[in-house]
């Protein structure tokens, strides 16, 4: 009974959260939330991140190798909940991106991710779900060697001329700290705004959405970054971020 009550609340939250998709929220290090996946999903976040290590042929979700818990793996924390969301028709016309940040050796880890995902055809064949590989990745020239359901987080502004490789890129991501030391309080300096605007323009010229990681995580930062045109707002507080950004038009 409690499970069904939880799902009914989740559906209601999602109906409200759909209005937040003018601001695409990226739940950074989502596995550190008290309820991984569900907190971000119910808030309306359209991108959810999980760090993954390959150990003993298992995909564990953890921030560092020392923090691996054998009860926390990619299947039970993310793929199974995502599968249940699809089965209950929670994500219809509500696109969601699962960004898997590889922390271990890229090639063997990615092959294991692909093997595991083949057990979830409802996920891999769903047009509203994107599986995006970040962190340790193959070289861009190798992107099109992987199945159609695998896409990549491109962490560079170097132009891609090969259309088949460009098609495999889901978004462009860079570290905010390489451009600015702003802490999210007060106003962002004009010099930093110019740098950020240039980066966004370069990413958008590829036809891809853009995300910064290592951003300040405050209401002022969320507002500033969204107004600058950044498509994915990086946050460790998806519920608070969604609640705040949905009120921007009224402010």
User: Which pLDDT tens digit goes with each residue over 118-172?
Assistant: 999 999 999 999 999 999 999 999 999 999 999 999 999 999 999 999 999 999 9
Q: Decide if 55 is inside a domain.
A: yes
Buried b or exposed e, range 3-34, using 16+ CB within 10 angstroms: eeeeeeebeebbeebeebeebbbbbbbbbebe
CATH number at residue 90: 3.20.20.190
Q: Decide if 13 is inside a domain.
A: no
Q: Decide if 10 is inside a domain.
A: no
Q: Which domain holds residue 179?
A: 22-246
Which alpha helices (DSSP H) does the chain contain, by range? 2-17, 38-43, 74, 80-87, 106-117, 121-124, 163-167, 190-205, 219-227, 238-245
pTM summary value: 0.90
User: Which pLDDT tens digit goes with each residue over 230-247?
Assistant: 999 999 999 999 999 988
Please give the tally of structural domains in the chain: 1
Q: Decide if 49 is inside a domain.
A: yes
Query: Mean pLDDT over residues 62-88, rounded?
Result: 96
Q: Decide if 5 is inside a domain.
A: no
pLDDT recorded at residue 23: 66
Q: Decide if 12 is inside a domain.
A: no
User: Which pLDDT tens digit goes with each residue over 174-225?
Assistant: 999 999 999 999 999 999 999 999 999 999 999 999 999 999 999 999 999 9
Q: Decide if 14 is inside a domain.
A: no
Going by pLDDT thresholds of 50, 70 and 90, the confidence category of residue 41 is very high
Find the range with the poorest average confidence among 25-29, 58-62, 63-67, 93-97: 93-97
Q: Decide if 11 is inside a domain.
A: no
């Amino acid at each position: 009974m409690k499970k069904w009550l939880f799902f009914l609340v989740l559906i209601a939250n999602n109906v409200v959260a759909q209005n937040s998709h003018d601001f695409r929220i990226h739940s950074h290090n989502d596995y550190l939330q008290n309820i991984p996946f569900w907190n971000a999903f119910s808030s309306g976040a359209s991108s959810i991140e999980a760090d993954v290590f390959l150990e003993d042929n298992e995909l564990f979700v953890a921030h560092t190798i020392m923090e691996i818990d054998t009860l926390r793996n990619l299947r039970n924390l993310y793929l199974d909940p995502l599968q249940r969301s699809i089965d209950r028709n929670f994500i219809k016309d509500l696109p969601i991106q699962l960004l898997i940040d590889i922390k271990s050796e890229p090639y063997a880890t990615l092959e294991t991710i692909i093997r595991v995902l083949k057990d979830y055809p409802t996920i891999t064949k769903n047009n509203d779900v994107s599986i995006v590989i970040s962190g340790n990745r193959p070289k861009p020239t190798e992107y099109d060697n992987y199945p159609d359901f695998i896409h990549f987080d491109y962490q560079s502004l170097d132009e891609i001329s090969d259309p088949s490789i460009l098609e495999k890129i889901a978004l462009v991501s860079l570290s905010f700290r390489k451009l600015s030391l702003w802490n999210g309080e007060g106003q962002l300096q004009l010099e930093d705004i110019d740098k950020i605007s240039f980066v966004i323009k370069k990413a958008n010229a590829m036809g891809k959405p853009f995300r910064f990681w290592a951003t300040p995580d405050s209401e002022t930062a969320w507002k500033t970054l969204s107004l600058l045109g950044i498509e994915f707002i990086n946050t460790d507080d998806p519920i608070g971020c969604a609640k705040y950004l949905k009120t921007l038009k009224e402010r």
